[in-house]
């Protein structure tokens, strides 16, 4: 079903670049000749999911295009921590313009390349969830609708982390942010709001839409590689835990991302031309509580008074995802 033929299910062997594999099967990141598109020395927090996701995604894109990438970045953590003048962590051609216009700027780059006959150079737009689902949403929809030759990657940490953890249109229900505080009768973010951008992208019937997390970086590499095999507008939505904003331990970033998928809260799937073509089955299903309890942003669901009503509500969202994307396959059910 999924794009990655090789899975590392055993606890402790999620590491990429397994030396037991043949060279061709190893991860892109394990290649000593990888680009290091986002190289070391930047100012991201310890355990930053976004830095990890961006590095893997762009190194994969570089390999897939014979190192011919121009990246356009929205304002946000990724931009701020990577380019404090006069330093830059980018070893690729990189442009930052504004918060809300990265998809349109990427369109401009693609148009310029086409007009100059440089079709071998490919374009990536990237931003956080605020830039993607909120302030840059119109520009992103326009880019999709025109089917411009751009891969747009959203690194979703489910709030405006760069400005101090305010709610975005991607903040999940019940989560505490600086603007959805854990106070009152219904603490945290409200239910029934928020945008499901992968599905909105699919509604544009663009060639390729995929979701991924930093818990399965080989899968992310594979999806970026696959995305570069298409022309036209493509969208990858990557869940990237934020230790600062989520109130989680820096060492738990991968674990939390994995629990998001194994609970069903974050379905991992691929779609082509508006139809789901593959989903990654849940291997070891867990209750959402396992995911929630590692994060201070949900601590109000457990103390001072346990909120079973809210936890049940969140579980129902995960259950719905599992049914919608067929995340419990016969194989995983029997394992």
Partner 1 sequence: MLRQVEGSKAVADTVAACRPQVICAYPISPQTHIVEGLSQLVKNGELQNCEFINVESEFAAMSVAIGASATGARTYTATASQGLLYMVEAVFNASGLGLPIVMTVANRAIGAPINIWNDHSDSMSQRDSGWIQIYAETNQEAADLHVQAFRIAEELSLPVMVCMDGFILTHAYERVDVAEQEQVDQFLPPYAPRQILDPSNPVSIGAMVGPEAFTEVKYMAHMKTLSALAVIPKVAKDFEIIFGRSSGGLIRRHKTLGAQTIVIALGSVLGTIKDVIDEMVAADIAIGVLGIIAFRPFPTTEVREALSQAKRVIVLEKAFQVGVGGIVIDNVREALRGTNTAAYTVIAGLGGRPITKQSLRSYFDKAVNDQVEELTFLDLDKDLADAELAREAGR
Given the rule CB under 8 A, which residues bind partner 1?
Answer: 67-70, 72-73, 79-80, 83-88, 90-98, 100-101, 104-117, 121, 138-139, 141-142, 145-146
Nearest approach, Cβ of residue 61 and partner 1 (Å): 11
Nearer Cβ to partner 1, position 109 or 151?
Answer: 109
Distance of CA 128 to the CA centre of its chain: 9
- Of 150 and 242, CB closest to partner 1: 150
Q: How far is CA 275 from its chain centroid?
A: 20
* 3-state SS assignment for residue 300: helix
Least separation in angstroms between CB 247 and partner 1: 26
For residues 137 and 325, which CB has a smaller minimum distance to partner 1 in the complex? 137
Q: Give the chain's length.
A: 335
For residues 53-68, one letter each, b for 16 or more C-beta atoms within 10 angstroms of the residue's C-beta and e for the rest, the string is: bbbbbbbbbbbbbeeb
For the bound state, the minimum distance from the C-beta of residue 134 to partner 1, rounded and expressed in Å, comes to 14
Phi, psi (degrees; rounded to nearest 5) at 305: -125, 130
Conformation bin of residue 86: beta by default, left when phi > 0, alpha when psi is -120 to 50: alpha
Separation of alpha carbons 234 and 129, rounded Å:
16
Report residue 201 as tokens: 């992208």
| Residue 142 or 232 with smaller CB distance to partner 1 | 142
> At closest approach, how far in Å is the CB of 194 from partner 1?
22
Residue 138 or 164 having the CB closest to partner 1: 138
Closest residue by Cα to residue 125 from 93, 158, 97, 150: 150
Least Å distance between CB 57 and partner 1?
A: 16
Nearest of 142, 147, 176 to residue 234 by alpha carbon:
147
Q: Identify which of residues 42 and 297 has a Cβ nearer to partner 1 in the complex.
A: 42
Nearest distance from C-beta of residue 128 to partner 1, angstroms: 15
Based on CB atoms, which residue is closest to partner 1, 66 or 312? Answer: 66
Q: Residue 23 CB, nearest distance to partner 1 (Å)? A: 25
Cα dihedral 289→295→299→302 (10° resolution): 20
């Amino acid at each position: 079903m999924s794009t990655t033929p090789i899975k590392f299910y055993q606890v402790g062997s999620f590491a990429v670049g397994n030396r037991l594999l043949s060279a061709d099967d190893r991860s892109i990141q394990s290649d000593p000749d990888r680009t290091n598109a986002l190289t070391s020395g930047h100012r991201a927090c310890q355990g930053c999911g976004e830095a990890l996701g961006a590095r893997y995604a762009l190194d994969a894109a570089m390999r897939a295009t014979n190192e011919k990438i121009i990246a356009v970045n929205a304002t946000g953590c990724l931009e701020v921590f990577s380019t404090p003048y006069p330093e830059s962590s980018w070893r690729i051609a990189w442009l930052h313009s504004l918060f809300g216009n990265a998809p349109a700027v990427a369109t401009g780059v693609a148009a310029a390349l086409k007009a100059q006959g440089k079709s071998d150079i490919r374009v990536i737009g990237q931003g956080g969830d605020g830039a993607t689902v909120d302030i840059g949403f119109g520009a992103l929809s326009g880019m999709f609708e025109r089917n411009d030759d751009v891969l747009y990657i959203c690194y979703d940490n489910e709030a405006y982390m760069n400005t101090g953890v305010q709610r975005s249109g991607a903040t999940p229900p019940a989560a505490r942010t600086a603007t959805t505080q854990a106070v009152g009768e219904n603490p945290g973010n409200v239910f029934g709001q928020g945008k499901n951008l992968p599905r909105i992208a699919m509604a544009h019937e663009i060639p390729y839409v995929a979701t991924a997390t930093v818990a399965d970086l080989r899968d992310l590499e594979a999806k970026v590689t696959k995305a570069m095999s298409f022309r036209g507008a493509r969208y990858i939505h990557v869940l990237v835990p934020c230790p600062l904003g989520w109130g989680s331990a820096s060492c738990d970033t991968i674990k939390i991302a994995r629990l998001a998928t194994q609970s069903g809260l974050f379905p991992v799937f691929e779609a082509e031309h508006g139809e789901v073509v593959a989903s990654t089955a849940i291997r070891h299903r867990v209750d959402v509580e396992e995911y929630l309890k590692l994060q201070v942003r949900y601590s109000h669901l457990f103390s001072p008074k346990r909120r079973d009503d809210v936890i049940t509500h969140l579980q129902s969202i995960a259950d719905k995802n599992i049914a919608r994307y067929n995340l419990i396959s016969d194989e995983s059910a029997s394992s």
